[in-house]
Structure 1
Amino acid sequence: MATVMTQKNEAPPQPDLAALLDLSHDTIFIRDGATGAISYWNAGAARVYGWEAADLAAPGGYGRLQSRCDVPEETVLEELVRTGHWQGGITRTARDGSEIIVSARWAARLRPDGSLGEIVETARDVTVKAVAAEELRRSEYRYQNMFRAMAVSFWELDFSGVKGLLREWRDMGVEDFSAFFAADPDAVRRVMGATRIVDVNEKTLLLFGAADRAELGDTVERFWPRDSEAVFAASVVAAISGKSNFEAETKMLTVDGREVEILFTCSFPPECMGRGNVLVGVLDISGRVRAQEEVQRVQAELAHAARVATLGELAASIAHEVNQPLAAIVNFGEAAKRWLNRPEPDMAEAAAAIERMIGDSRRASDIIGRIRAMATKSVPKPTLFHPCEAVKEAVQLVRHDMQARGVALSIAEVEAVPRVRADRIQIQQVAVNLIVNAVQAMAQVPEDRRALVIRTGLAGDNMVRIEVQDSGPGIDPVVADRLFTAFASTKDSGMGMGLSISRSIVEAHGGTICGRGNEAAPGATFSFTLPVAEMTADDAAGACTAAA
C-alpha cells in the first residue's frame, strides 16, 4: 500500500472540493434565496437536468427548473426560516421538457435580517422509482375497484400456512402430492384449515349468504364439501407445480350449508406466491347447470320417444324373434311329454328336452328384456360394456326385418376392442337407428345387391368406432349438409329425428358421428365413435372382437 509522506511541519495538500463533489451521483447546487441565482452547480445536476452552470448563474436562474414541491411553498419557506432545514419531494422540468422527480434536502443560511441567504440542496433522482410507485398505486386502485365491483365472487387467501404443511410432508418423503392427497383426505382438510381468508368482495358475501366478512370465519374449510375435496387438492397441486392458474367446475357450501354449483378459478402469479397470497374467483353457474340438466331431460324424452317409435316399426321382427323360442319351448315340451309317456320312460331324453326348454325360455326372456329396456323411460346410466355386444343385441332386434327384405348381413371381424363407459341402451338405440336406416335405404336396389356390413374397431385418440355400411343409393346431395339436423329426412314418412337424436346421444358420451358415400362401391357408410374406458387387465383379457 502506497503512503504519501510529507515533510515535518509541511501542510498536507488541499483537495479540489468542487472536483470531489462532481464525483457524486447526487445533484448538488447552491442558490441565493432572494435572487434565485445559482452560484454552484455540480456535474450530477448538469447530467440530471441538462442545464449547465452558466445557464443558471444569473438572477432568476433557479426559476428555470420550474420546481414544484410536494407541499405548499409557504410551508417549505416557513420551515427553512424556523429550522434552517427542509426535506421532501420535488418535481422539476429538465431542459428537454421531461419531468424529473427528486428526493431533496435543503440547508439554508440566514442573513442578519432573518431573510434567507444561500440555500444548499442535495438531491437524488427518484423519477423511475416514483413512476413505478405511482403505477403500482394506480394498479392497486384498479385491482381494488375490480375486486369490489365485479359480479364474480373474489377471495384473497393467505397460503403461507400451507407452506409449512407441505414442507413437513416433504421432509417425511412425500413427492407425489396428487397421490398423497388422494390416499389421505384428512390431509386435504388440514390444508383447507391452513388456508386463511384475507379479504372478499361484496359478491362473495351475497353468494355465500354472509352478513359480513366476520361471518365467513378465518379459513376456507367450512365451504368445501367432501365430494369437492379432489378439486381443492388439484388446485393445491397446481400451485406447487408452478402453474399460473387452475380452473374446474365443482360445488361449494354456503354459510347455511346449501350446495352451490360453481366455476372455481385460481391465479398463482409468482410475485404473489412468494408472499403466500392466492387470488380465487368463484362464479355461480347454478343457472347454467340447471339449463343443461333440462336440455338433457328433453333429449332423454326425445330419445325415449324415438326408441318407442323404432320398436313400433320393428314390431313384426320383434314378434318373430319372440315366437321362435316360444315355438321351440312348445316343441321341446311335447317331446319331453312323449319321452315320459312311453312304456319305459326315457328320462335322459326327457331331461335333455327340458334343458332345451329352459334355454329357449331364457332366450325369450332376454329378447323381452332388451325390448323392455328400450321401451322404458329412465335416466341414462353409464356402465362398462363391450360395444360389439351392444351392436349384436341391436342386430337381434332387426334380424328378421333384414331377412324379410333380403339383406345379407356381415359383421366384420376387424380387431379386438376394449370396453367403453356409456349408457348401453342409448348406444343400442344409435346402432338400431343406423341399421334400420340402412335396411330401408336398400329397398330401392335389387334384392341380390342388398348387403349390410357392420364393423367395430379402434380409431385414433383412444376411441372405438362402429361403422354401418350399406349398398343402397348413397346420400342424397340435397340433405348431405343437414343429415344430423332435426327434421331433415329423405323418407316420405320420416320425421327426420333419428339421426339428430343419435348425434345428441353420441356427443353426450364424448364421441362423434358422421356419414359419407362409399368410395369404391354404391351406398353409404355411417359411423360413430366412443371414448375408450381406462383399460384394465380384465379388459385386455376379455376384449371383444367384431365377429358374430
Structure 2
Amino acid sequence: MDWPVQIHSSFDGHDLDSTSKACLCDLGVQMGNRKALNRHRLPPDQPPDLAQIYDTIPIGLAFLSPDCRYLQINQRMTEICGIPVADHLGRSVRETLPRLAEQVESIVQSVIATGEPITGIEVSGERPDETGTDRFWTTSWQPLKAGDGTIIGVNVAAEEITHRKRTQAALAFANISRQTTMDAMTASIAHEINQPLAAVVTNATAGLRWLAHSPPNLDEAKMCLERVVNDGHRASAIVASVRGLFGKNTSERVRVDPNEIIREVLSHVHGDITNGNVALQTALAKKLPQVLADRIQLQQVLSNLVLNALEAMSEVADRERTLIVKSDRQEPDAVLLTLEDTGPGIDPAYLDRIFDPFFTTKAKGMGMGLAICRSIIKTHGGDLWASSKASAGTILHLTLPIA
C-alpha cells in the first residue's frame, strides 16, 4: 500500500535547532514507503540518497504509528536506545523501552490529537541495557499527514544530552560545595579571631575593676592593659596569617624555636587552662633544633590544638583533667610535638577522619579547625595525626622538618 504523503516544514529562521529537527522528521516521512523514496533517489554520480542520509545522520530519527509502533528507525536512534534496528521494527515503544513508554505515548497522543508538532521536549529514563542510570534526550515530534489531512503517524528526532546534563549537575554541585566550604571557612576564621578578641574584653574588664579600687591598683591595671595590647596584636597577626595562607605566601617563614612557640601559646591560653581546672605538664626537649615556619600560623595551629584538648576535657568529672605538652627530636631530620589530654578520647573508627573538612564529633562546630591545622602543617612540609591513649584521652602528633 502506498500512502500519499504531505511534507510539512516550518523553517522561519528563528529556532534553528527545533526547526532543523522538524525538517529531519519530514525527511523521515519519505522513508515510510519505498516508492516515495525512489522518486527522490539521485543518480549514482550525485550525493548520497535520502536513505543513506537518514541512516547516517548524527541525530536519532524514528517513525511511530498512532499506536506507538516503530515503522522506521535510523542507526543513531538505535544507538541512543541501545537496541538493534531489527528489535524495533513492528514492535511498540512499551515493548522496547518500557521505562520510557508512558512519556512517549503521552507525547504521541498529544501530537495526534492536536495535529501540531512538539519541539524541544526533554525525555529521560533508563535504557533496557542499563540499570540504575538515567539518560536524557531532547526530542522533537512531527505529525505525518496523508493527503486528506489524516495523521498516519509521528516522526521523532532525538538528541542525547546526558553528558551535558551530568556536566551541569556536577557544576551545580561544585558551586554548592564551594559555597559551603567558604561558609565553613569563614566561620572557622571568625572563631580564630574571636579568641584574642575575647581575651581583650576579659583583660579590659579586669583592668577597669583594678582602676575602680580605692585606691586604684595601677600595677595590676597596667598588666591588664599590656595583655590587651598583646591580644590586639595577636588578632591582627591572625588576619595577616590567614591572608598569607590563602595567598600561599611563604616569604614570612623564618627560623623559629618550637619550644618558644609552645611557651607563647601556653601563655596566651593560660586563662582557659586555669578556668577549665586543667593541670598543665610540659616536657620540652633541651637544645631542640629550629624549624622554618610562619610564626603566626604555627602559633594558631598549636593554640587550636590546645583549645580543642581543653574543650574535650570540659565534661570530664571522674578523673583529673591533665594536658601534657611535649617536644623532642624525631630522627633523622624532624621535630616532634605532642599534646596529650585526658578527655573522652576519639573512636578509633574516626581517627583518620577528624582532619577531613566538615567532619566533626562535636555537637557544635563546622569541622574545619583540624582540617585547616593539617593543611597549614602540610604546607610547612610536616604532618599532623591523632592516636588514642591506652587509658583515656587523645594524643595529637605534629612533625616539622628541621631548618
TM-score, normalized by length of structure 1?
0.35
Taking structure 2 as the reference length, the TM-score comes to: 0.47
